[in-house]
Structure 1
Amino acid sequence: MAQRSRDNESHYAQRIVTTSQTAPVAVITVTYSPGRHLRAFLDSLPGATTRGVHVVLADNGSTDGVPEKAASTSDSVEYLPTGGNLGYGTGMNVGARHLRPARDAGDIDAQYLLLSNPDVVFGEGSVDAMIACMERHPDAAAVGPRIVEPDGTIYPSARAVPTLRNGIGHALFGQIWPSNPWTRSYQDNADMGSERAAGWLSGSCLLVRWDAFDAVGGFDERYFMYMEDVDLGDRFTRAGFRNIYCPSAEITHAKGHVAGKHADAMLPAHHESAYRFQADRLPHWWQAPLRGLIRGGLKARSAIAVARARTNRKDLHV
């Protein structure tokens, strides 16, 4: 695995010192008829940072009128239609490309970019805490907060990159035997109270370093939804960066408000993304039989998950 050189670490440390502290932090959220969640998201941002924010609503085809209304009532909120339902990662990339001229002109913070779902509510000082965490780790490409779910539980948002073994074990047994060793390895959630490195961080809220995000090409746009954050964290690591979990920053997340309404589309997309992630890491011709087995198993699991969702009308998460 590539290691970042001391010269590059010094370069990043110097950028921390010289970056303007007055320019607002750029925030991108991908909207798709976010409803009441967006207002709570926007209202929580002023208390999350003393630096100010500029928010881009990368809209993937909302029909509720909420993103347009939010942008029309605030100079710090910008409505950006993406042209269709492009998926989460592509929507984030569209927002980032849109913001680069403002970054280069110094109108927004040139170092940090905050990527978040619109159903997140930021805790007091949480964005500043993530920035402080990033500054403690000059080789970090991404920092993620502690994520509290509506029922008060801590979401396992800092995980190991799934391997073939723990991915298959989790897929087979995660729903029927939650404490199985493969799921425990997959979730890597034994320590959610300490600041630490992780294989990947939840894309529901992620502070990234602009330079690192650009260095790896942003999100892989082949992922429509799900696993794009796993892939991004893995590519950060392969490029010599680290992903840092920062529990001193806390948010709440109304997880799955879109997926729950569109389970018939979202659950197959999740399983297709899981296949893409593993297939990309099994590229050789002689691995084709294994890729076929993975695809077949995930298609079967997807069909079962969709059937359960139709019966229960509950969002299922892996």
Structure 2
Amino acid sequence: MKKTEAGGLPLTTVILVTYNSGADLEQCVRTLGPSEAFKVVVVDNRSVDDSVDIARRLQSEGLVARVIESPTNDGFARAVNRGIESSDPGGLFLLNPDARITGSDLLRLVEKAQEDPRIGILAPLVDSGPQVPTLAAGKQPRLWPLFTHFTGLARAFPRVQVLRGRHLYREHHSYTQDVEWVSGCALYLAPAARSSVGTLSDRWFMYGEDIELADRVLRHGFRVVLDADVVATHEIAASVNAAGSAVSTMWAENTFDFYVWRFSPGPVRRFLWRLIFSAGLGSRALLLAVKSARSGPSAPAMRARAARFRRFAGAVWTTKPAR
């Protein structure tokens, strides 16, 4: 395995997938900064803005090692896999263009993962702003964690392990801990885990691949850890806005598809999963709609979130999981 001069750390390849990401890419890469311990690979999914031009300019400055232009937009996982196939052996760090993490913080993750060979995935605590109370980490989307999350049990009894839900709540769980999934917006895959699990599943165009990867890492005997000592920021809607309305319900549809594909529930459990998911998001949409009536300048944002929740709630009833 190729080593770097930064304390003998394994070389890390940072993979950035862009699609009309011109507004975010430069700041993302410059926040990382230059380093001999990692190199940045940009994989562009057929952008129609200036994403490629910006990536090439950053490459000329030595901040990007390689720019890969995909002939078509085949989705997130396939783009990541193109980056993986072109990278050197070592660790991988998946990073969204609308996420921010410093190079020094990235190396802190690499160092911590190297100290414990059981760690397969290590992710920073992702701050998505005050409007997002949950962390981008938690339990796999099985029926019970979904129930405890949407009924509020997980939030009401944060110290009861059996009640941990689909998402962790920032107010209770902002500390380093083992989890069952973390978001692919900022995720370090250690070299040993990479060798064991290979590339991302391309079952989904967008969303789902991170929870599947974490599940596979766990099944290979590694740990998935949320490191609260390292913080990344993520503008949670930026990549969705760039991709357009066609992906607006994919998160809900693909989460249900993964649940059916991975856990093989029968018809009753499928129905209960859909019911809990849609009732939970539907109630949140209703609460936001009520709050927006007396929220002044923030009312449009609340109404937009409520509309997204309603779309998510309805989408799981129409999607048919693939075999």
TM-score w.r.t. length of structure 1: 0.75
Question: How far did 1:97 drift?
Answer: 1.0
SS, match of residue 185 in structure 1:
coil
- Mark the CA change 1:24 to 1:83 in structure 2 (over 3 Å): closer, same or farther: same
The Cα offsets for residues 241-286 of structure 1, whole Å up to 9 and x where unpaired, read as 11121122222111121214556322321122112211113437xx
- The AA in structure 2 aligned to 1:122 is I
Give the aligned partner of residue 321 of structure 2: none
Give the aligned partner of residue 111 of structure 2: 132
The correspondence for 1:118, drawn from 78, 83, 97, is 97
- Mark the CA change 1:179 to 1:301 in structure 2 (over 3 Å): closer, same or farther: closer
Structure 2 Cα separation of the partners of residues 55 and 231 of structure 1: 24
Give the aligned partner of residue 44 of structure 1: 31
Give the aligned partner of residue 77 of structure 2: 89
In the alignment, structure 1 residue 33 sits paired with structure 2 residue 20 = yes
Percent identity, please: 22
Structure 2 Cα separation of the partners of residues 95 and 208 of structure 1: 14
Structure 2 Cα separation of the partners of residues 40 and 71 of structure 1: 14
Comparing 154-163 with 179-188, greater Cα deviation is found at 179-188
Unaligned runs of 5+ in 2: 290-299, 313-323
Give the aligned partner of residue 224 of structure 1: 205
Comparing 89-98 with 119-128, greater Cα deviation is found at 119-128
- Mark the CA change 1:178 to 1:169 in structure 2 (over 3 Å): closer, same or farther: closer
Question: How far did 1:154 drift?
Answer: 7.2
CA contact (8 A) 1:271 1:302 kept: no
The correspondence for 2:144, drawn from 165, 189, 211, is 165
Structure 2 Cα separation of the partners of residues 115 and 213 of structure 1: 12
SS, match of residue 125 in structure 1:
helix
Structure 1 Cα separation of the partners of residues 127 and 242 of structure 2: 21
- The AA in structure 2 aligned to 1:68 is D
CA contact (8 A) 1:267 1:305 kept: no
Structure 1 Cα separation of the partners of residues 156 and 203 of structure 2: 31
- Aligned length, in residue pairs: 285
SS, match of residue 186 in structure 1:
coil
Question: How far did 1:119 drift?
Answer: 0.8
Which structure's relative contact order is higher, taking Cα pairs within 8 Å and 6+ residues apart?
Answer: 1
CA contact (8 A) 1:282 1:291 kept: no
Spell out the pairing of 1:232-243 with structure 2 (5 A cutoff): 232-243=213-224
The Cα offsets for residues 109-143 of structure 1, whole Å up to 9 and x where unpaired, read as x3211111011121362111101210222111111
CA contact (8 A) 1:26 1:113 kept: yes
SS, match of residue 68 in structure 1:
helix
Structure 2 Cα separation of the partners of residues 166 and 93 of structure 1: 30
- The AA in structure 1 aligned to 2:139 is A
Name segments (4+ residues, structure 1) moved above 6 Å: 180-183, 295-306, 308-311
Q: CA RMSD in A?
A: 3.7
CA contact (8 A) 2:154 2:165 kept: no
Structure 2 Cα separation of the partners of residues 51 and 117 of structure 1: 21
In the alignment, structure 1 residue 147 sits paired with structure 2 residue 126 = yes
In the alignment, structure 1 residue 245 sits paired with structure 2 residue 254 = no
Structure 2 Cα separation of the partners of residues 51 and 275 of structure 1: 41
- The AA in structure 2 aligned to 1:46 is G
Give the aligned partner of residue 173 of structure 2: 191
